[in-house]
Chains A and B, each alone.
Chain A
C-alpha cells in the first residue's frame, strides 16, 4: 500500500457543494495542520544546527521512529513479518511518552556513535554521514514494521469542528496546540533554565562557553536529544491524521529543512513561521494547481528562497537576530 493514497486528507473534506472561499479556508486549515509538523521538525533542525553546526539529515527519521514506537505501545502490532507479536496496549498518553523516549534514545545514540566521532570531519563527510544514518534507520524501521501503513487512534474522539465554513478535525486541534506548546516551552527553556542558557552560550561562542565550565559536548548531546523528542512529537501527533509508513522520514526532513531555510537557518521562531508558510503553500498549491506535484512545491519554494535571497524570509541569522529570537 502507498501512503500517498491516503494523504488526500488535505482535500477529503472538499466537495463540490463548497463555495470557493470555504474551499480556501479548508486548504488553509489543512495547510496549518501539516505545517505544524514541518515547524516541529524545523525546530529540531535549528536546535541541532545552532549548538553543533551540523545539519542532521536524519531528522525526519525521529518522527517516523517516534510514531512507530507509540503505535506499537498503544495497540497490538505484528513485527518482523508477523514473527513477533507485541500486545502492550498501553494507554495512549503512556504510549506517546514511550514513543518520544524511544526517539530521544535513538537521537542520543546517533550523536554518540556517529556525530561526535566525526566532529572534526569536513562538512561534506558530515552531510554524507547523517544521510547514511537516515538510510540505516529507515532500513531498521522497514525490517521491523514492514511496508504497511499504520495509524494511531485520534487523541480525543468526537465530531470534527466547524470553522469559517471549513472542517477542523479534533486531531488537527491537537496538532496545532502541541506545536504551539512546544514552541513556547522551547522558548522558556532556552530563556530561563540553566541548561537552556548553557546551550545558547555554546552556540554563541563555544570557546568561551568551555572556559566558563560548560561541557559543550554534553550540550551537543542534549541538542540531539531535544530535537529527537521534538521530531517524535511531530510524528506521533500527525499519525492519527495521515498514515505512517517507514519511508516518510526523508521527505519530512526535506520539508523541515526547507522550513528552516525559509526561517533564516538559525531562528527558531523563523522556523515555525517557515513551517506554517510551507504547509499553507503546499496545501493551496496541491488543491488549486496539482495534487500529484504536492511534494515538488516545497522544492520550488526552496529553490526560490535559496537562489533569490539566501537570507530566508526572516532576516539572516546575524548575532542580532539570534538575540532577538532568544537563541
Chain B
C-alpha cells in the first residue's frame, strides 16, 4: 500500500498529538497544549470566514464567550448534565452566529470590521454589567467538569485527549468543506462577489453558513474551555482575544486549514515565552506586553507575507534564491 505525503503528515500529526502528554510530563504543560487545541478550533473557523469567504471578523471571541457562559449557566445554574450543556451551548452559539450574520453581512470591508468589533465590545459590557447572571468582572466560578455517564473528564490529560479529538474532527470537517463545492463557492466569493453571484452562487447564504459553522466551533471551544478550567471571566473573551485569534489565523495563512494549528501553537508559545522573558527584564511588569510582538507580527505578515508565515516565508526564500542564481 502506498501513502501520499499528505496522508503520512496526518498520521505523523496524530502520533505526535497522542504522544505529547507523555513527553511533556507535567500537568501545566498538558493544559497549555489543550489551550492550543481550543485556539486551533477557533482559528479554523476564523480561517474559513476570513481566508475562504473573505469576510473580516474582529469579534470572534464573542462566540467563544457565548459558548463558555452558556455552558456555565446551563450546567452550574440550571443543573443540566454537563454533556447536554456543552451540546446545547454549541448549537446555541452556532444559531447565534447565523442570526447575527443576517444583518451584519449586509455590511462589507471597514463597516463589517467595525460592526464585529462593536459586537465584541457590547458582549464584554454585558458580561461586566450583568453580574447577577454572569458573575461580573470577577468571573463565574464552580463550573462542573464534563462527565459522560460515569466517566468524568476531570484531569488535564483526559481533557487534552477530548479537546484534541474534537480539534481533529473540526479540521477534518473544514478540509471536507474547503475541498467541496462549498469551498469552491467560498473562494469564488472571496475573489469577486459580483462574479460569483453572476455564476449563480448565493453569496450571502454561503457566508452565513460558514459564519454559523465558525461560531459553532467557537461555541464548542468556549464550552470545553469552561469545563477544563471551571472558572471563566470577561477578560478571556474581550477584543484583545479577538485580535489574537486574527493573529493566529494570519500566521497560519488566512486560507489554510492546517495552518491554524501552526498559528495557534505559535501565538500561545510565543506569548508564554515573552511573558517569561518580560518578567526577567522588567520586574513587576504586569499586563499583556506580548501584544507588542503580536501587533508587529500582524503588520509584518499582512504587509509582506499575506499568505502566512510558512507559505509566505517559503515563497520569499525561493524568490531570494532565484535572484541569487541569476
Contacts and interface: CB of A to CB of B under 8 A. Distances in A.
Interface stretch (A132-140, A165-173, A195-203): A132-140
A307 B109 contact: no
16 contacts: A57-B113, A114-B299, A118-B303, A124-B56, A125-B306, A131-B246, A133-B299, A136-B292, A138-B295, A139-B291, A139-B295, A140-B292, A147-B286, A292-B129, A298-B118, A303-B115
Given A139-B292, A143-B289, 6 more contacts: A126-B302, A135-B291, A139-B295, A292-B125, A298-B118, A303-B115
Contacts of A296: 121-122, 125
A55 B115 CA distance: 14
Contacts of A134: 295
Interface residues of B, number: 49
Given A143-B289, A254-B118, A307-B103, A128 B129 contact: no
B294 interface: yes
A83 interface: yes
Interface in A99-153: 114, 117-118, 121-129, 131-140, 142-143, 146-147
Interface in A206-240: none
- Majority DSSP secondary structure for residues of A touching B: helix
A117 B303 contact: yes
A250 B282 CA distance: 25
Interface size for chain A: under 10, 10 to 19, 20 to 34, or 35 or more residues?
35 or more
A257 interface: yes
A139 B288 contact: yes
Shortest Cβ-Cβ A-B pairs, 8 listed: A136-B295, A132-B298, A139-B292, A135-B295, A299-B118, A129-B302, A139-B291, A292-B129
A306 interface: yes
Given A121-B303, A127-B109, A135 B240 contact: yes
Given A129-B299, A142-B288, A81 B282 contact: yes
B295 A250 contact: no
B25 interface: no
B302 A118 contact: yes
Contact of A83 (B50, B109, B282): B282
B121 A254 contact: yes
Interface of A: 55, 57, 80-83, 114, 117-118, 121-129, 131-140, 142-143, 146-147, 250-251, 254, 257-258, 261, 290, 292-293, 295-296, 298-299, 302-303, 306-307, 310
Contacts of B113: 55, 57, 127, 131
B273 interface: no
A261 B114 CA distance: 11
Q: Which of B54, B296, B297, B303 has the most CB of A within 10 A?
A: B303
B325 interface: no
A55 B110 contact: yes
